[in-house]
Structure 1
Amino acid sequence: METPEKQTKNSIFQSTTAKMIMVGLLTLVLLIPLQFVKELISERAQRQKEVITETNDKWGKSVFFYGPILKIPYTYYEETVSINEKTKETVKQKTAHTNYAYFFPEELKANTDVTTKALNRNNYESVVFNSNMKFEGNYIQPDFSSRNIPHENIQWNKATILIKTTNLKSIKDEVKINFGKTNFTFEPVYDSEAKDSTEALETGYIDLTKILTNQKIAFNFDITYNGSQQIKMVPIGKTTQVNMKSNWASPSFTGNFLPDDKTKKITTSGFVANWKILHINRAFSQQVFGHLPDLRQYAFGVDFVIPVDQYQQNERASKYGFLVIGLTFLIFFLIQSISKISIHIFQYSMIGLALIMFYTLLISITEHSSFMKAYIISGISVIALITLYSVSILKNKKFPVFIGLSLTALYTFIYVIIQLENYALLVGSIGLFLILAEVMYFSRKIDWSNSNS
């Protein structure tokens, strides 16, 4: 026969409060392996970034472009004054120096066709593109009057046309410009005085005295890039019009200017975007004397980046791990309290570890399949495992069926939240509110005052 002291001790450990504390502590303990799973996801995501960077370096990096720029050298004289020590006379001496004037087009039109594709290496995927860019426009007669430079000091026969860009190694064809009905070929040049990270293409000397007239001088050229992640350009025309189309269905328009909403179209098969930018929309003039400034801050373009990749989706799913474990334990605890069925803390532990296995299955299967397939396979596996295990715990079929349906609804709810971007917080908040309401409804008749329940 048990002593009153022993009966009291057993009563304390079998009480509802004690069980709640143990289940709560177990939930906190399970956060440790859950954190290990999150670190695994982060490690795999970092490895993906390294592979993507390596792949993009070989295929082609981001494309940044502005041009064409008419570059005209001119001579200016610097006067120095010195005193002859012998005669004590003042001697004035003029030294000739060469500087450059840069003139931007009056009109610039660009039509860009971008074809994207996925490159796979091992279990990792990178999005790259091939861009065919066609430019046309015109220049007007260069005006040096603002600097009072005499006509005879201008070296009209040594003008060149310049393009500032990045990713030179991924240009696929020779670049030629038709300027004033004459073709000129671009060659790479090294600019030691460049104030930005761009590279340069430049033509040979052009004798403007044979080309420039009082009328506008037209030009056109094509340039084809292999690239990745991004295309950006600077609107250097007095009027710049850009049309871009692509098979990429998730463009992110970036930079200092956005496309026209009236003509922009985004569908599942790609997008079409148009920009029209005037010189009064940006804070630099149509001509620059001295050195070209860094105009990157005025660039605009498109990012070709996967909006939510598989590792981001896995990371977002793992953030709901605590919620899944807590709600599942709560369901079992309510069933235990209502049905008076005793569930051992070891059995709670097995259920918790099964829930964590969902995330290891998810990340491993995702690397060999799509996230949706991996989520379905992992979800079905874990739900089936816990449902069958609960049959042996609860000794009937009614409660296990309820648990299986509840877990199915919970995992479906989390999947919907992961897929949503703009409405994830709203849907998540409403869903949690409804879950709380259901818990309050089912727990309303439990007699919490009975310590041995």
Structure 2
Amino acid sequence: MEPENSHPPLKNTNALIIKLCVITALILLLLIPSSWIQSMIDERESALQATQHNTANRWSASQTLRGPVLVIPYTELDGKVNAQQQLFVLPENLNIRASVKTKLFHRGIMDATVYQSKIQVSGNFLRSALAQSGIKPGNFQTDKAYITFGLTDLKGLKSNPVIELPGQRVAVQPIFNEHALFDSGLQAGIRLPDAENIPFNFTLDLNGSEALNFLHTGKTTDVTINSDWKSPNYGGYYLPDSHSADSSGSTAHWRILYYKRPFPQQWTNNNTLLSGDKADSEALFGVKFRLPVDQYRKTMRTTKYSSLIILLTFVSLFLTELIRRQNIHVFNYILIGAAMVIYYTLLLSFAEHIGYDWAYLISSVATISLIAWFTASLMHNRSVAVLFGGILAFFYGFIYVIIQLEELSLLMGSIALFFIVAALMYFSRKINWERHY
């Protein structure tokens, strides 16, 4: 016996096939606004990156420490002219201890990560490097020797660094020489000690944003970074030998030897060796202080499942109307599809203000409730609407779990889809496709 107020059933197989084709076309058409929403997410994320870049320009950019390097001028007879040259010597041992405190700058609904750091740099040079260079000892101008190092953004310095050597404390000065070793560098003139071992140390009070990197310039480079950032991302050519993270922050340690480093321990007259693309790609390492997965990336990943959600919803609704023997007009499918597309704009707009998780809950509850109420009014049956709402809740819950899982997302997604297809097979077996009802 047919339920009261039911719509007229489909009359024949041709009508059923036509409706299936129309529903398929609707699913394909709904992919168009879904792509628009993805473009909107890209636009909002670009606005976030612009805000972060603007904040970095005002606070300080991502910082990279290059060096230090011992530079010793020397002269060579070039025809009848004594041409001035330079010998560059890297540290035998380089030890860096960095302590980093991060904070978020809020610009409207946009956030940017910045940090304050105290970086203690120590190590030693060997005077024997002069003899190993093959240059005549009398050609060196040791009274003009200096130590230099580079930073990405000198604006981030909050105090004037002082390099300490045996019997010397020398404040550094910015470099304005276009032929300098570093584009944004500092240097301190020193008296080159006569001893074989030349220890040094200095401290940097340095502001930066998003990342802190170091260039592997020591024959042995030993770096430790302690920060209050709970989810660091270690990047560059070298991963840390050890690292840990907990509720109080994170720690990472590198100990790197000079084998396979893209530049030698000493060289002459090449002032681009430590700032070229090869040095950056094969000798740079450090940590990034970024939000693990921000709301835009999560929302973008969610929208990529929109076609799957719409397909499963329409299939479930179609099977429901066949089993219930109640015809749902195509226009009602359009309205339900529109609600499912608007869901993603709700998710994006709420995520910008209250975070992805709460936005997902609010948007899902609102959309599921709306569609369940609409289904109940169409079929005049609350139990069917509750069942259909439960199906939608399962779909959205399934997508949320997939988004949260990183490494297991493919496995869990494949298993869940297998059971969904199995369920559709189970319920579709009750349908007589020849008679429909």
TM-score, length-scaled by structure 2: 0.92
Counterpart residue number, 1:116: 102
| Residue 250 of structure 1: how far off its partner (Å) | 2.1
**Structure 1 stretch displaced more, 161-170 or 421-430:** 421-430
The alpha-carbon deviation at position 311 of structure 1 amounts to 0.8
Q: State the secondary structure of the residue aligned to 2:300.
A: helix
Report the count of equivalent residues: 422
2:4 — aligned with what? none
1:331 offset after TM fit, Å?
1.1
Amino acid at match of 2:215: V
1:276 corresponds in structure 2 to 255
The CA deviation at 1:52 is 1.4
Most deviating of 360-369 and 134-143: 134-143
Q: 2:421 aligns with which of 436, 448, 452?
A: 436
Q: Relative to 1, partners in 2 of residues 1:422 and 1:181: Cα closer, same or farther, differing over 3 Å?
A: farther
What's the counterpart of residue 350 of structure 1? Answer: 335
- Inter-CA distance 149–14: structure 2 relative to 1 (3 Å threshold): closer
Tell me the alpha carbon deviations over residues 264-290 of structure 1, each in whole angstroms, 9 at most, x when there is no partner: 212243221111112235243221211
| Partner SS for 1:367 | helix
Instruction: Flag the 1:40–1:256 CA change in 2: closer, same or farther, 3 A.
Output: closer
Alignment partner, residue 398 of structure 1: 383
Aligned to 2:5: none
Aligned to 2:152: 166
Distance of aligned partners of 1:394 and 1:121 in 2 relative to their CA distance in 1, 3 Å threshold: same
Given the alignment of the two structures, is residue 185 of structure 1 paired with residue 171 of structure 2, yes or no? yes
Partner of 2:373: 388
1:298-352 per-residue CA deviation (whole Å, 9 max, x = no partner) reads: 1111122223211111111111111111111111111111110111112111111
Would you say 1:23 and 2:2 are equivalent positions?
no
- Unaligned residue ranges in structure 2 (runs of 5+): 1-9
| CA apart distance, 1:154 | 1.1
CA distance in 2, matches of 1:41, 1:154: 60
Over residues 211-235 of structure 1, what are the superposed CA-to-partner deviations in whole Å (9 max), with x where a residue is unaligned?
3314x22211101221112221122
How far residue 147 of structure 1 moved from its aligned partner, in angstroms, is 4.1
Post-superposition offset of 1:13: 8.6
What is the distance in 2 between the residues matched to 1:311 and 1:434? 30
Once the two structures are TM-superposed, the CA of residue 151 in structure 1 deviates from its matched residue by 2.0
User: Take 2:260 and 2:223, find their aligned partners in 1: how far apart are those partners?
Assistant: 15
Q: Deviations over 1:58-80 (max 9, x none)?
A: 1111111122211111111112x
Is the CA contact (8 Å cut-off) linking 2:13 and 2:434 kept in structure 1? no
Partner of 1:213: 195
Whether the aligned pair in 1 keeps the contact of 2:13 and 2:433 (CA below 8 Å) is no
Does the 8 A contact of 1:103 with 1:142 survive in 2? no
**C-alpha distance in 2 between matches for 1:29 and 1:279:** 58
Structure 1 segment 417-432 matched on structure 2, within 5 A: 417-432=402-417
SS at match of 1:64: strand
Q: Distance in 2 between matches of 1:269 and 1:372?
A: 23
Give the residue type in structure 2 aligned to 1:179. L
What is the CA RMSD across the aligned residues, in angstroms?
1.8
Kept in 2, the 8 Å contact 1:233–1:301? The answer is yes
| Residue identity (%) | 36
Task: Write the distance in 1 (CA, Å) between the matches of 2:384 and 2:201.
Answer: 74
Distance 1:47 1:359 in 2: 19
Equivalences for residues 127-276 of structure 1 within 5 A: 127-193=113-179, 198-204=183-189, 206-208=190-192, 211-214=193-196, 216-260=197-241, 263-276=242-255
Q: What secondary structure does 2:328 align onto?
A: coil
Give the distance between the partners of 2:373 and 2:103, measured in 1 at CA. 44
Judging changes above 3 Å, is the alpha-carbon distance between structure 1 residues 399 and 103 closer, same or farther for their aligned structure 2 residues?
same
Name the residue aligned to 2:266: 287
SS at 1:15's partner residue? Answer: helix
- What's the secondary structure of 1:144's corresponding residue? helix
Q: Kindly indicate whether the alpha-carbon contact (under 8 Å) linking 1:191 and 1:200 is maintained by their aligned counterparts in 2.
A: no
Partner AA of 2:135 in structure 1: I
Whole-angstrom CA distance in 2 between matches of 1:283 and 1:143: 19
Alpha-carbon contact 1:12-1:18 (below 8 Å) kept: no
Look at both structures and tell me which one has the larger radius of gyration over its CA atoms. 1
Task: Give 3-state SS (helix, strand or coil) of 1:138's partner.
Answer: strand
Distance 1:41 1:207 in 2: 58
CA contact (8 A) 2:97 2:121 kept: yes
Seen in structure 2, the aligned counterparts of structure 1 residues 402 and 20 have a Cα distance that, compared at 3 Å, is: same
Alpha-carbon offset, residue 103 of structure 1: 1.4
Structure 1 portions without partners, runs of 5+: 1-9, 80-93
Once the two structures are TM-superposed, the CA of residue 422 in structure 1 deviates from its matched residue by 1.8
- Cα displacement (A) at 1:170: 1.2
Letter in 2 for 1:357: I
Q: Distance in 1 between matches of 2:231 and 2:92?
A: 33
SS at 2:221 equivalent: strand
| Deviating more after overlay: 376-385 vs 274-283 | 274-283
Asked whether the 8 Å contact 1:13–1:19 carries over to 2, the reply is no
Q: Say whether 1:78 aligns with 2:68.
A: no
Q: Which amino acid counterpart does residue 70 of structure 2 have in structure 1?
A: L
Q: Which residue of 1 aligns with 2:111?
A: 125
Hey, what does 1:305 align to over in structure 2?
290
1:377 match: secondary structure: helix
Contact 2:173–2:187 at 8 Å: present in 1 too? yes
